[in-house]
Amino acid sequence: LVALIDAFEKCNATTRKQVIVQQGDSCDDGGGYVYIIAEGECSVEVDGHVVPHPFGSMGSGEIFGELSVLYSGTRSATILTESESVTLFRIFGDTFKEILDPRRNVAYDLETMQEIDGVINELWDCNKYGGRGAGDIIPQYKPERIWLWSQWCGTIVKLSLRATVGNMLFCVGFIVLVQETQNGGTDFHNHPIQYFWTADGIVLPDKNLPCVQDLFLIRKIWGYQQTLTIFILTFFVNQAFGFWKGVYCECRNVQSNLDGYFLTLSTNVKRNDDGSFTEESAKLLEDVGQYSRLWHALFWASIAKRFRVLQTDLGLQRMASRGLLTQTQLEILQGLELSTSDQLKLAPLQWMLVRSIRAMDDGVVAGDTATKGMLLKGMNKLRGSYTKIPNKLAGRMPLAYTQFVQILVDTLVLMSPIALYAELGAYSVIAVGIITLFYTGLLNLAKIFLDPLNNENYCEEDANFMDLGVLIRESNDASTQWKRAGERLPFD
């Protein structure tokens, strides 16, 4: 029941005698919707005649359309709004039948449905996120020193804190072990502070002891490794940042090429004498915009793991039930013979171009060779830019290189308590903390750069450097911005 309720979406009818369900419409293969009236009244007509009261009127709390959906039949009656305003809740036919299927895993579907709704809200619900495309694709900063020092969530300090504290505790343990060995198990354990501090100040090791002299040799070897590690690690971080920047630029290129396609199309459609778009032109721009929004969602679902649920049958059905694609589009996508679901994005991309070319044949878009060439070129630029992103992600960094850097950093950090004790004594605890934070922090930073979409879920969400939800919401807004901006012209 919870899953069923969660799957319903709200819709409104704002005029009297508005048709909600048309007699004779087919509900084959789970098509159509099941409706519940929340507020207002509806009337029932059969074969053009109003069914008399009480069977011909429906009010708040009543359900209709479920039988034709369950039996994949045709609508047996026409349902019209009787009030000036009617509020309804509806659920897509396939979703309705699947939820009622006793063989399904209800707990799994409910959890999956909530995940799908969360993704849809992130990509399309601009009001929830503060307006069109609101937000920052990457976390912004203020240059003030105090502001930067006060940050915690999403910082390298937070991500590296556990390793830093752990290594400092290891250093404390090593100091205690050395002190116990030097003092032959005296009463130092009754006064643990004497391992680090006495009346004479910080405890420093006796450099004449053989074991301390051996630690000086380890310190010398550790110094050689430190020089090699800092050189290799800084170069590794630089390459990782270059990779991250390249992916970011390609994401913006996709957005820019998509925007350029809409500019070309909207400036070459047919207009009325007053400069406004004709009805056919407006419909064309709306259709192509809807195809582009669907393509953008499916494209990112093919490479970003947290959006992948949209490519599933349940994800597609939920998008259809929330009006993000039509029933016809849903049936086409589900019927495609593709090798992987990652190829679903190819369909709406072709719809964009074919719809534009056919509009040329119909005279809605300028049919000259130059315009057609610009549209074809724009689509090829879009295709070329979006294919670079998964290619970059697939070749981000060789395993051998990354493993080598990891081993260098880990051995340097783990050896630091042993290597620094002979020279610094109890001060080595502080030095070990600084060194661990610095080296592990740089390596963690590189790993974040190498996972710009956070597919590895390596770090917490607020440390993810690229918020794809913002990027997609910006592009969704851009799919209609040229239509809105060019609605009227200041000249004849």
Mean pLDDT of 159-174: 92
How much of the chain exceeds pLDDT 90, in percent?
Answer: 48
pLDDT at 313 over 80: yes
Q: Residue 132 gets which letter from DSSP?
A: T
> For residue 132, what pLDDT band results from cuts at 50, 70 and 90?
very low
> For residue 247, what pLDDT band results from cuts at 50, 70 and 90?
very high
- Cβ density class 79-104: b for 16+ within 10 Å, e for less: bbbbbeebbbbbbbbbbbbbbeeeee
Lowest average pLDDT, out of 301-310, 390-399, 427-436, 471-480, goes to 471-480
> For residue 54, what pLDDT band results from cuts at 50, 70 and 90?
confident
How much of the chain exceeds pLDDT 70, in percent?
Answer: 88
Measuring CA to CA, which residue among 424, 419, 492, 439 is closest to residue 203? 424
pLDDT at 312 over 60: yes
Please check whether residue 345 is in contact with residue 336, taking contact to mean a CB–CB distance below 8 angstroms. Answer: no
Lowest average pLDDT, out of 10-14, 220-224, 333-337, 457-461, goes to 457-461
The DSSP annotation for 388-435 comes to HHHHHHHTS--HHHHHHHHHHHHHHHHHHHHHHHHHHGGGHHHHHHHH
pLDDT at 72 over 90: no
What is the pLDDT at residue 251? Answer: 93
Please check whether residue 189 is in contact with residue 205, taking contact to mean a CB–CB distance below 8 angstroms. Answer: no
pLDDT at 130 over 50: no
pLDDT at 244 over 90: yes
Mean pLDDT of 160-187: 82
pLDDT at 131 over 50: no
pTM of the model: 0.77
Q: Which has more pLDDT, 390 or 456?
A: 390
What is the pLDDT at residue 129? Answer: 45
User: What is the 3 state secondary structure string of 266-289?
Assistant: HCCECECCCCCECHHHHHHHHHHH
Distance CA 340, CA 114 (A): 24
> For residue 125, what pLDDT band results from cuts at 50, 70 and 90?
low
Distance CA 236, CA 233 (A): 5
Q: Residue 101 gets which letter from DSSP?
A: -
pLDDT digits (tens, 9 = 90+) for 423-454: 888 888 999 999 999 999 999 999 999 999 88
Q: Which has more pLDDT, 381 or 6?
A: 381
pLDDT digits (tens, 9 = 90+) for 251-307: 999 999 999 999 999 999 999 988 899 999 999 999 999 999 999 999 999 999 989
What is the pLDDT at residue 321? Answer: 74
What is the pLDDT at residue 30? Answer: 53
> For residue 29, what pLDDT band results from cuts at 50, 70 and 90?
low
pLDDT at 6 over 80: no
Please check whether residue 197 is in contact with residue 203, taking contact to mean a CB–CB distance below 8 angstroms. Answer: yes
Question: What average pLDDT does the chain have?
Answer: 86
> For residue 390, what pLDDT band results from cuts at 50, 70 and 90?
very high
pLDDT at 106 over 70: no
What is the pLDDT at residue 403? Answer: 96
CA distance between the termini of the chain: 59
Distance CA 258, CA 136 (A): 20
